[in-house]
């Protein structure tokens, strides 16, 4: 595949070593036209997700993770708008689809689960009714059959007593249960891609582990790809095959999970990883802090968006925006100073 230098992006097809990506996002730009100005929530985002793999999309709050997920589903509401880019699902450009075509894709080929299981279910219908709806939106099946499949699906997400639980209302269930129901709804039509937008943030740690385990199990059963959006680095380390790190509406680093945690190359990724406490670190050692604040998406810094906070920034960084380039085989990063696959940060190799 070719490299689109002019657009400042790299075709992420190359990122994947194993097969061509199932879902590919190229140079996606989603802007919100607010009264204060244009908020560039996603600004030239590119990533690829291979079939059956899990891609972790990590970044701080407000860096555009969720907006990028909603853009893939084409659920950006006014004043937001997808300005530019391509979203290829098995070669089909979703941005060229009409709204009815898009409805066929949503829930059927790409599904999404959300952060808040407490509010993601309609409070006035039973959970069985809602899972049945998910099936009947896309498939022409009888009520009886839909109900049987619903009960099977509830069993699949490991909720006990599926036959009675199917007639319960969301308010009768715990947060973890509701997230399971959400997963059942999302997977009811056997989607190829599942977008999980912080699926465990609202749950406590033990439930978190159970849900992730369930997702991993269902992933291999259903042969689906998962785009996992999170700010939890531990979670990413555990479950994803590839990681894309986002900063200020762009991907700054993209590589396999093992590689990223072993040798982060971008100064931002490095700062992020060293700011997480690890077990067994000396008690008197202070945690690393990334100085400054996340830039306001209304006014991004010129040049490299990380330069005001970067310890190794130079004059060049203020003027020239670094491209996301392959700095090592299978390792992409956007920084001027990565040479021969070495991080500009001292002691970056861990």
Partner 1 sequence: MILGLFGLFLGIAGWHAGTLWESLAHTVQKLSGASVLYTLRDLDFLVSTLFVLGMLVAMGLYSGISCRQIQKTRSLAQLPEGQWSIVKRQFLKNRLAVVGALIILALYLVAFLCPFLAPYDPVEQGDRVQERLLLPSAEHLLGTDRFARDVFSRIVYGSRISLLVGFLAMGLAVTLGTAVGAVAGYYGGWVDSVIMRFVDMMLSFPSLILIITVIALWRNQSIWIIITLIGLMSWMGVARLVRGQFMALKEREFFQAAKALGAGTGRLIFRHLLPNSLTPIIVSATLRVGNTILLEASLSYLGLGVQPPTPSWGNIVYDTKGNLFTEWWMPLAAGMAIVVTVVGYNLLGDGLRDALDPRLRE
Task: Check residue 34 for interaction with partner 1 (CB under 8 A).
Answer: no
Smallest distance from the beta carbon of 104 to partner 1, in angstroms? 7
Cα 22 → chain centroid: 15
Q: 105 or 248, CB closer to partner 1?
A: 105
Element (H, E) at 233: helix 233-239
Q: Where are the alpha helices (DSSP H) in 126-223?
A: 127-138, 143-156, 162-165, 175-187, 205-222
Q: What are the DSSP calls for 268-329, one per residue?
A: HHHHHHHTS--TT--TTPPPP---S-PPPTTSPPSSSTTGGG-TT--HHHHH-PPP-EEEET
Task: Check residue 124 for interaction with partner 1 (CB under 8 A).
Answer: yes
Specify the stretch interacting with partner 1 by CB under 8 A; choose among 109-117, 214-222, 225-233, 342-350.
109-117
Can you tell me the distance from the alpha carbon of 185 to that of 169, in angstroms, rounded to the nearest whole number? 14
Cα 75 → chain centroid: 15
Specify the stretch interacting with partner 1 by CB under 8 A; choose among 163-171, 257-265, 305-313, 337-345.
163-171
Q: 193 or 235, CB closer to partner 1?
A: 193
Task: Check residue 120 for interaction with partner 1 (CB under 8 A).
Answer: yes
Task: Check residue 103 for interaction with partner 1 (CB under 8 A).
Answer: yes
Task: Check residue 115 for interaction with partner 1 (CB under 8 A).
Answer: yes
Task: Check residue 179 for interaction with partner 1 (CB under 8 A).
Answer: no
Per-position b or e across 145-159, b if 16+ CB within 10 A of its CB:
ebbebbbebbbbbbb
Specify the stretch interacting with partner 1 by CB under 8 A; choose among 16-24, 72-80, 140-148, 296-304.
72-80
Q: Which of 31, 32, 47, 114 binds partner 1 (CB under 8 A)?
A: 114
Contact 240, 54 (CB under 8 A): yes
Q: Which two tokens stand for residue 177?
A: 């249960």
Q: Which of 302, 340, 327, 324 has the alpha carbon at shortest distance from 3?
A: 324
Smallest distance from the beta carbon of 342 to partner 1, in angstroms? 42
How far are the Cα atoms of 106, 264, 338 from residue 312, in angstroms, in the given order?
Answer: 43, 15, 11
Task: Check residue 222 for interaction with partner 1 (CB under 8 A).
Answer: no
Task: Check residue 326 for interaction with partner 1 (CB under 8 A).
Answer: no
Task: Check residue 137 for interaction with partner 1 (CB under 8 A).
Answer: yes
Contact 299, 231 (CB under 8 A): no
Specify the stretch interacting with partner 1 by CB under 8 A; choose among 20-28, 105-113, 210-218, 222-230.
105-113
Q: 178 or 250, CB closer to partner 1?
A: 178
Task: Check residue 185 for interaction with partner 1 (CB under 8 A).
Answer: yes
Contacts of 58 by beta carbon, 8 Å cutoff, 6+ apart:
65, 230, 231, 232, 233, 236, 243, 244, 245, 246, 272
Contact 110, 131 (CB under 8 A): no
Q: Which of 202, 205, 216, 226 has the alpha carbon at shortest distance from 56?
A: 226
Task: Check residue 201 for interaction with partner 1 (CB under 8 A).
Answer: no
Number of residues that bind partner 1 (CB under 8 A): 33
Smallest distance from the beta carbon of 149 to partner 1, in angstroms? 15
Smallest distance from the beta carbon of 73 to partner 1, in angstroms? 6
Smallest distance from the beta carbon of 70 to partner 1, in angstroms? 8
Q: Which of 172, 190, 275, 319 binds partner 1 (CB under 8 A)?
A: 172
Specify the stretch interacting with partner 1 by CB under 8 A; choose among 179-187, 241-249, 277-285, 297-305.
179-187
Backbone angles phi, psi at 223, to 5 degrees: 55, 45
Task: Check residue 168 for interaction with partner 1 (CB under 8 A).
Answer: yes
| Residues near partner 1 (CB under 8 A) | 73, 75, 78, 103-108, 111-116, 119-125, 133-134, 137-138, 164, 168-169, 172, 182, 185-186
């Amino acid at each position: 595949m070719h490299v689109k230098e002019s657009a400042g992006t790299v075709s992420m097809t190359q990122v994947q070593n194993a097969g061509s990506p199932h879902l590919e996002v190229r140079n996606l730009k989603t802007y919100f036209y607010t009264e204060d100005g244009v908020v560039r929530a996603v600004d030239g985002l590119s990533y690829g997700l291979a079939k059956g793999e899990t891609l972790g999309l990590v970044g701080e709050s407000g860096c555009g993770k969720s907006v990028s997920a909603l853009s893939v589903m084409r659920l950006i509401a006014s004043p937001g708008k997808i300005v530019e880019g391509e979203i290829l699902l098995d070669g089909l450009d979703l941005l060229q689809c009409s709204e009815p075509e898009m409805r066929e894709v949503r829930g059927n080929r790409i599904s999404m689960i959300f952060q808040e299981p407490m509010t993601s279910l309609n409070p006035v219908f039973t959970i069985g009714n809602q899972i049945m709806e998910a099936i009947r939106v896309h498939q022409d099946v009888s009520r009886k059959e839909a109900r049987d499949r619903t009960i099977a699906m509830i069993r699949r997400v490991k909720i006990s007593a599926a036959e009675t639980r199917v007639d319960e209302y969301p308010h009768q269930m715990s947060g973890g249960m509701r997230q399971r129901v959400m997963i059942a709804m999302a997977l009811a039509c056997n989607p190829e891609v599942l977008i999980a937008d912080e699926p465990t943030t609202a749950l406590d740690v033990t439930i978190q582990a159970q849900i992730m385990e369930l997702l991993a199990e269902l992933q291999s059963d259903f042969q689906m790809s998962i785009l996992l959006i999170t700010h939890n680095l531990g979670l990413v380390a555990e479950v994803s095959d590839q990681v894309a790190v986002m900063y200020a509406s762009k991907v700054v680093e993209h590589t396999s999970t093992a590689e990223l945690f072993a040798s982060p190359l971008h100064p931002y990724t490095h700062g992020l990883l060293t700011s997480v406490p690890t077990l067994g670190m000396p008690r008197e050692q202070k945690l690393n802090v990334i100085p400054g604040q996340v830039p306001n998406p209304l006014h991004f810094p010129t040049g490299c968006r990380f330069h005001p906070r970067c310890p190794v920034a130079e004059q060049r960084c203020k003027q020239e925006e670094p491209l996301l380039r392959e700095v090592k085989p299978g390792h992409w990063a956007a920084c001027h100073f990565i040479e021969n696959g070495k991080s500009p940060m001292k002691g970056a190799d861990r």
